[in-house]
Amino acid sequence: MHMLDKSSKYSFQTIWQGNLVPHKTKFPSGIKALADYVHGKGLKLGIYSDAGYFTCSKTMPGSLGHEEQDAKTFASWGFDYLKYDNCDNDGIKPTVRGDMQTALWGSHLGNSWRTTNDITDDWKSMLSRIDMNEIYADLSRPGGWNDPDMLEVGNGGMNKTEYIVHFSLWAISKSPLLIGCDVIRNMTRETKDILSNKEVIAVNQDPLGVQGKKVRMQGFLKIWAGPLSGYRTVVVLLNRGRRRKAITALWEDIGIPPNSAVEARDLWEHKTLRRQFVGKMTATVEPHACKMYVLKPLA
């Protein structure tokens, strides 16, 4: 690993030109073996580093001055994704090493960028992060995505319907779907069902790549919408309040011609609604819950 000298301004300074090495106790078979195992499960694997002398934990070396070297090491281990933080960087210019406006310039350096402070596993934090992320919606596009932080689904701080809202909003916002719970030791069937909803994931991965936005706000009731490939539209009817409410999406708000007839696919019930809708659609939504539909025009 990078060796550290205790004589610098921050008590430590990267001075050795060696490579990062895996912790022998935590990774006795090495990192490459771990990556191969994860890939064998059909998952992708990410690693964390930092544009400073130390990572934000203050216990592990960062990549400052060793960026290319460490990138080659991570690639040789088989990682698919690098999350790059910005602690202990000795005051280097923010637009060089990152700040909270990375959405304005991040596309030149990476495929996604954080738009918010760290998320915590609760309803208020989750909603505030996705609201902050929406500010930068117009800067998101295929190959460069706004990231409101990792998913908390399965960590226990919210209930099932709140986690469904969490996953739905990250999906419609085309945000990276980074699993933040323990997938090996304690993932429940409920958590797995939420995280593996193929219809919701398909919205997130839609090739058109347009980030959804709030198109109408009425107190605690919010309507999110965005275009999908194939002339389709995705809609999330969100009840952020504490009482059951009917929510109506108007075609004029979500970009559908006013007299168009559509069919609606419920992505959490996995069923196409029997009736067709013209001009608007209404659904009753439980508190701290949402409905998510893909609307498809009828010929």
Q: Which residues are catalytic?
A: 85, 118
> Own/partner pairs for 178-181, CB < 8 Å, 24+ apart?
178/46, 178/81, 178/150, 178/151, 179/150, 179/151, 179/153, 179/154, 180/150, 180/151, 180/152, 180/153, 180/154, 180/155, 181/151, 181/152, 181/153, 181/154, 181/155
In this structure, the strands spanning 261-266 and 145-147 are: unpaired
51 to each of 64, 83, 91, 95, how far by Cα in Å?
Answer: 5, 10, 11, 12
Q: Which of 137, 284, 113 is CA-nearest to residue 213?
A: 137
